[in-house]
Structure 1
Amino acid sequence: MSLVAALPDVSFAQTVPQDSLKTDSFAIKKSRRFVPAQDLSKQYDIGDLERNILHPGRKADPNKINSGVSVVPNISANPTIGFQIGIKAVATKRLGDDSKTLLSVAATSASITTKNVIYFYINHNIFTPGNKLNLQGNIVVAKTVSPDYGLGIGRAFQGGSSADKTLLDPDRKVYGLNSTYFNFREKIYKNVTKNLFVGAGVSFDVRKNITGKDTSTNTPMGVYNIRHGFPQDHYSAAGFLFNVEYTTRDNPNRAYKGIFADAGVRINQTWIGSTKNSVQLTTDFRKYFSLSDSHPEEVLAFWNWGSYLLRGDVPYLELPGTARDGAFRSGRGYTNQYFKGTQFNDTELEYRFPITKNKFLSGVTFVNMQTANDEQGTKLFQVFQPGYGAGLRVLFNKATRTNLALDYAFGRFGSKGFFLNLNESF
């Protein structure tokens, strides 16, 4: 089994590695203070385990508040990327003294491998005191390795030109693509009424030096670039973002109840540096049902994410697809962009349940269903591809509801893998 990363977290799948590989192994607690919203004395997390191992017999201090910051070393090895070493940090904090202010979350990671694959990112989702403003954004700088499985949802080839067959790639052949990548995205939302935000921002995605073992135009990306007028070795997608967001989630790391909904339009424009003009609509809806008053962490969670090209052309490696949501976590069972099209939709359902009385261990089962169009006439919602699996959760930081998520998922075409994340997929 080879190892594959689902950015910005970790997945181990039986395919060619993606843009980076990050393995979370243990946490180092910091001294920064964080005020929990509930009595956590009966819960047990990694910090309690660390205390019991390093200081056996020492009782927990009820006045000591766990940190909102976790630091995770990234150490791994893979034949494609070599040996990797790096570090990742996740921070959760409530800004100001208003208990109704939503939690802010930020994360960063830096890693390098012996085969010169480099990845660095910073992302944040910040709510100012009183939820007056919400700032969302990220910066990514990387030298990457990405797999490509062709366009569409993996249906059988129905006849057409040789170029159509190459683009559709019904055999699911994998093409490894190397490139240098830069992304900057920032959105600012303003609270206009209770739980409702409107926002705007910008996004710049630049990819250069795109190469692979097969550098001919007789590849899915090569055919797509010729048809849509993109250069073969570089592109830029630069545009404006306009969004509406509604949220009642009780916690962004692991929600027990509430709704998160976001709808946005991205308008790429050549006059600000985009290779092509385009307009895309993106929707994100999540609903959480707590199934027990005594065990609120027993949850049924629903997620639907979609992206739809309204007009223009989008670069091949920027097409919406598997794990192309904001956190790169959709479609467990498949690697990043395993399925993709100009129109794409993913629906997921997950059951979360406690295992141990002290909440240290819990479990999940999940299913997902992806659909996409292609350039041979397949329409969105015409063909679906399933994924399913189960996982274990280890309570990482009870003050912030941060947990270590270990999932094993299965898909079609022999796709399956182990996915390791901090926090839930959605």
Structure 2
Amino acid sequence: MLLSVAFGAHAYAQVKTPADTSQEGMIRKQEKPVDTRADLSKQYDFGDMLNDILRPKRKADSTRKRSAITVVPNIAANPTIGFQIGIKAVAGKVLGNVPHTYMSTAATSASITTKGILYFYFLHNIFTPGNKWNLQGSIVASKSVTPDFGLGIGQASNKSPEDYILTNPERKPYVWHSEYYKFFEKVYKEIGHNLFLGAGVEFEMRRHLNNPKYDSILTPFEIYNERYGFPQDHYVASGFLFNVQYTTRDNPNRAYKGVYIDGGFRVNQTWVGSSKNSLQFTYDFRKYFSLSARTPEHVIAFWSWGSGVVAGAVPYLELPGTTRDPSFRSGRGYTGGYFKSTQFFYSETEYRFPITRNKLFSGVTFVNIESANDKSGTRLFEVWQPAAGLGLRVLFNKATRTNLCLDYAWGRYGTKGFFLNLNETF
């Protein structure tokens, strides 16, 4: 069992973008916001609780604006990373006039662990007034460890001894140390109502990939690199992004209703520094149904995410898989990268419901499934791996619908985990 705080599904510290700061999944404000000032006055969040404790005689001021910035400790502990301490901040603000401008969001985090792991990121998703332009981007720098559980969906391959090691049906964990750097920037132009066309660049690099523990052991990582011609100790994946996006979601942190669709291609090219040429297609579909006009927090949410390498070769640790979605929060119940391959599909359904009348506490239940090919005979959609769980929500900032999320999930192979994050998984 793992313990992870503010790291979500990344229990091994190969942590990237939390859902509350998803660069491609950060959501917009609806044209007719569900929340009104009267609605907010009936809600009670963590800030209200602190005021009642620290200033019990102070009267509530309905005209006072609540800060859109939320700051929390970033803490985690497990045998791989040791004990982690850090800080995380997220923010949301409408830069134009409501309802004609969507909400802009940003986040940053810095952390260090007792085993020398360092991690820093800064993310932004900015909408200019009137939604004419949308700028999405991130910078990541880390000295980290990355778990590896083999290629595919956990199905044994009998083609050859190497294929058996590559597919790793027992899900034996391998852990790789490296330096990881990422730069991503994409610019969207609104070309129709709620419809955006975008293009950009993405650069990922890993250096000093190593683990002396596996010097005398053949690993899935090494087998894949030999077959596809990647170096064993470093690689670069750099290229261009082309996307189409449509959104009607009503809030960037916790949607009550609406839809989000994003699809596009990533084109890695050696002439811009990539180790290999490749063409990869990815889509992201999310739909939200509020079950009650009186209590819109009763929500059924659906999520489907998939990605496939159309041509060329993608570096092994960057293949689509568990937690490789834009928010890096898929696959609760499994460690990041637990399943991965050249073709990957993920789907999740979640029920969200209020617990207390003042909305301070709410809850969720969820189920998810994953499927992948393995390049050794198993096809996409042929084998499925499920997981399920439940969670508690604490309303941290009612002005931005920021929730503190505590989830516990169970998967196969004896996997299970506790996950704490800001904002909903999707």
Partner of 2:252: 252
Partner of 1:19: 14
Q: Confirm or deny: 8 A CA contact 1:216 1:222 kept in the other structure.
A: no
Partner of 1:9: 7
Q: Confirm or deny: 8 A CA contact 1:217 1:223 kept in the other structure.
A: no
The whole-number CA distance in structure 2 between the counterparts of 1:147 and 1:322 is 11
Matched, 1:226 2:221: no
Change (3 A) 1:335 1:80: closer
SS of 1:10's partner is coil
How far residue 2 of structure 1 moved from its aligned partner, in angstroms, is 3.5
Partner of 1:382: 382
Q: Which amino acid aligns with 1:236?
A: V
For these two proteins, the number of residue pairs brought into alignment is 409
Partner of 2:202: 203
Q: Confirm or deny: 8 A CA contact 1:140 1:184 kept in the other structure.
A: yes
SS of 1:223's partner is helix
SS of 2:303's partner is strand
The whole-number CA distance in structure 1 between the counterparts of 2:166 and 2:218 is 9
The whole-number CA distance in structure 2 between the counterparts of 1:159 and 1:78 is 34
Change (3 A) 1:297 1:251: same
Partner of 1:145: 145
The whole-number CA distance in structure 1 between the counterparts of 2:4 and 2:161 is 30
Matched, 1:194 2:196: no
Partner of 1:31: none
SS of 1:165's partner is helix
The whole-number CA distance in structure 1 between the counterparts of 2:90 and 2:193 is 28
Change (3 A) 1:361 1:385: same
Matches within 5 A, 1:281-292: 281-292=281-292
Partner of 1:311: 311
How far residue 215 of structure 1 moved from its aligned partner, in angstroms, is 3.1
How far residue 9 of structure 1 moved from its aligned partner, in angstroms, is 3.4
Partner of 1:129: 129
Q: Which amino acid aligns with 2:80?
A: T
How far residue 36 of structure 1 moved from its aligned partner, in angstroms, is 9.8
Q: Confirm or deny: 8 A CA contact 2:10 2:323 kept in the other structure.
A: no
> Residues 278-320 of structure 1: CA distance to partner in whole angstroms, max 9, x if unpaired?
0000000000000001001110000000001100000000000
Q: Which amino acid aligns with 1:224?
A: Y
Change (3 A) 1:280 1:413: same
Change (3 A) 1:335 1:182: same
Change (3 A) 1:70 1:355: same
The whole-number CA distance in structure 2 between the counterparts of 1:290 and 1:230 is 47
> Residues 204-263 of structure 1: CA distance to partner in whole angstroms, max 9, x if unpaired?
000010112213561000100001100000000001000000000000100001010000
How far residue 10 of structure 1 moved from its aligned partner, in angstroms, is 3.0
Q: Confirm or deny: 8 A CA contact 1:18 1:335 kept in the other structure.
A: no
The whole-number CA distance in structure 1 between the counterparts of 2:140 and 2:34 is 31
Partner of 1:174: 173
Q: Which amino acid aligns with 1:48?
A: D
The whole-number CA distance in structure 2 between the counterparts of 1:405 and 1:331 is 15
Partner of 1:342: 342
Change (3 A) 1:70 1:4: closer
Q: Confirm or deny: 8 A CA contact 1:22 1:74 kept in the other structure.
A: no
Q: Confirm or deny: 8 A CA contact 1:98 1:129 kept in the other structure.
A: no
The whole-number CA distance in structure 2 between the counterparts of 1:151 and 1:80 is 21
Q: Confirm or deny: 8 A CA contact 1:20 1:118 kept in the other structure.
A: no
Change (3 A) 1:283 1:364: same
Matched, 1:100 2:100: yes
Seq. identity, %: 62
How far residue 160 of structure 1 moved from its aligned partner, in angstroms, is 1.6
Q: Which amino acid aligns with 1:135?
A: L
Give the alignment partner of residue 36 of structure 2, picking from 16, 35, 38: 38
Change (3 A) 1:279 1:217: farther
Matched, 1:294 2:294: yes
The whole-number CA distance in structure 1 between the counterparts of 2:286 and 2:16 is 27
Partner of 2:60: 60
Q: Confirm or deny: 8 A CA contact 2:126 2:136 kept in the other structure.
A: yes
SS of 2:48's partner is helix
The whole-number CA distance in structure 1 between the counterparts of 2:217 and 2:186 is 36
Partner of 2:115: 115
Normalising to structure 2: TM-score of the pair?
0.93
Partner of 1:357: 357
Q: Which amino acid aligns with 2:13?
A: Q
Change (3 A) 1:237 1:338: same
The whole-number CA distance in structure 2 between the counterparts of 1:159 and 1:381 is 20
Q: Which amino acid aligns with 1:38?
A: T
Change (3 A) 1:104 1:201: same
Q: Confirm or deny: 8 A CA contact 1:9 1:422 kept in the other structure.
A: no
Matches within 5 A, 1:371-410: 371-410=371-410
SS of 2:74's partner is strand
How far residue 159 of structure 1 moved from its aligned partner, in angstroms, is 1.3
Task: In structure 1, list runs of 5 or more residues that go unmatched.
Answer: 24-34
Normalising to structure 1: TM-score of the pair?
0.93
Q: Which amino acid aligns with 1:270?
A: T
How far residue 80 of structure 1 moved from its aligned partner, in angstroms, is 3.0
The whole-number CA distance in structure 2 between the counterparts of 1:120 and 1:78 is 19
Q: Confirm or deny: 8 A CA contact 1:10 1:21 kept in the other structure.
A: no
Higher RCO (C-alpha 8 Å, min separation 6): 2
Change (3 A) 1:161 1:184: same
Q: Which amino acid aligns with 1:162?
A: P
Q: Confirm or deny: 8 A CA contact 2:148 2:174 kept in the other structure.
A: yes
Q: Which amino acid aligns with 2:182?
A: N
